[in-house]
């Protein structure tokens, strides 16, 4: 699998990145053995970029990722984690984090938003401990939608100082919304943005962001290429999820049309969905979440094989056709 530079930095990312939210028990639990098998399968097919966060399973994702990478040569892989949510003891645990955070783990910890310099340093220290690493390559400020001023004034300057000191390799912001990322690119010294679900085969609303990043030399990491599930099936059904909720009828109709066009060109919808973000030269890699070795194997095959120009033309027409 190809390696690409992350924008202007010396950090390298594989074309396909491993999104580690599912191994933090996103929505439902998997055991340590399945998580390890999934991570090992990713390594075996050439994935060398792994993205995690304290938020994912209240640290479980970081711990599982760290255990799986512990025997690998540090120079051979790239890890990103995130700051902005401190993990602290829960004063009144209910038994499960599913309702509050969406992860099937005990809620012995609670997330507290903190985008201050001290919060960034504390968060990063905790992540390094859970990951069993001396350093991480990329640090993203995580979902600062309601704390954008604090992120710009405090979190990002703290991270750029760490980058300039050589402690981390790259600084970024990861969000699901485009407008705040546009402000970050315009006002902050970032190396990359991770945009989730907004530059996909179905949802192309991040086009202005990609243009802005190209003008500033900022790399784009395209996450959630399946829009949290809708585009991951050969033919989407009504029980599919879209942006972590029920799929709207209009999105379902569009996804089914895209599936039919994919089939006419001899492939499947998730193949087209995974390859779509990589069409733009500003996209360094696509990051998808995996919970089984089979999911990793399919994604790796799709990532390595592009569609024909005719297929893309028909898919583009279907994606923009009035609903």
String of DSSP letters for 12-31: EEESEEEE-SGGGTBSS---
Q: Which sign does the torsion angle of CA 81, 86, 87, 92 carry?
A: negative
Distance, CA of 75 to CA of 82 (rounded, Å): 20
Catalytic one among 49, 56, 115, 140? Answer: 56
Under a CB-based contact definition with an 8 Å cutoff, are residues 304 and 286 in contact?
A: no
What would the two tokens of residue 109 be?
């910890």
DSSP-H helix ranges across 233-292: 249-264, 269-275
Size (the chain), residues = 323
| Ramachandran angles phi, psi of 109, nearest 5° | -120, 160
Contact 63, 24 (CB under 8 A): no
Instruction: Judge whether 248 and 282 are in contact, CB under 8 Å.
Output: no
Q: Is 56 a catalytic residue?
A: yes
Active site positions, annotated: 56
């Amino acid at each position: 699998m190809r390696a690409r530079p992350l924008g202007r930095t010396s950090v390298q990312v594989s074309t396909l990145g491993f999104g580690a939210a599912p191994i933090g028990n996103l929505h439902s639990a998997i055991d340590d053995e399945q998580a390890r098998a999934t991570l090992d399968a990713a390594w075996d097919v050439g994935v060398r970029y792994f993205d995690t966060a304290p938020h994912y399973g209240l640290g479980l994702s970081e711990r599982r990722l760290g255990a799986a990478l512990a025997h690998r040569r540090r120079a051979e892989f790239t890890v990103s984690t995130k700051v902005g949510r401190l993990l602290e003891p829960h004063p009144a645990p209910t038994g499960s984090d599913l309702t509050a955070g969406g992860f099937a783990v005990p809620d012995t910890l609670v997330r507290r938003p903190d985008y201050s310099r001290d919060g960034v340093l504390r968060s990063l220290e905790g992540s390094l401990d859970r990951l069993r690493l001396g350093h991480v390559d990329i640090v993203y400020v995580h979902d600062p939608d309601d704390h954008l001023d604090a992120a710009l004034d405090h979190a990002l300057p703290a991270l750029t100082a760490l980058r300039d000191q050589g402690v981390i390799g790259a600084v970024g912001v990861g969000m699901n919304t485009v407008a705040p990322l546009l402000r970050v690119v315009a006002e902050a010294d970032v190396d990359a943005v991770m945009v989730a679900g907004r530059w996909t085969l179905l949802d192309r609303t991040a086009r202005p962001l990609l243009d802005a990043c190209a003008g500033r030399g900022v790399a784009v990491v395209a996450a959630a290429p399946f829009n949290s599930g809708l585009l991951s099936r050969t033919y989407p059904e009504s029980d599919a999820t879209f942006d972590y909720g029920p799929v709207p009828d209009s999105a379902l109709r569009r996804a089914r049309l895209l599936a039919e066009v994919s089939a006419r060109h001899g492939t499947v919808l998730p193949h087209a969905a995974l390859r779509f973000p990589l069409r733009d030269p500003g996209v360094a890699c696509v990051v998808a979440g995996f919970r089984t070795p089979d999911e990793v194997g399919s994604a790796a095959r799709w990532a390595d094989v592009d569609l024909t120009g005719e297929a893309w033309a028909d898919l583009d027409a279907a994606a923009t056709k009035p609903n």
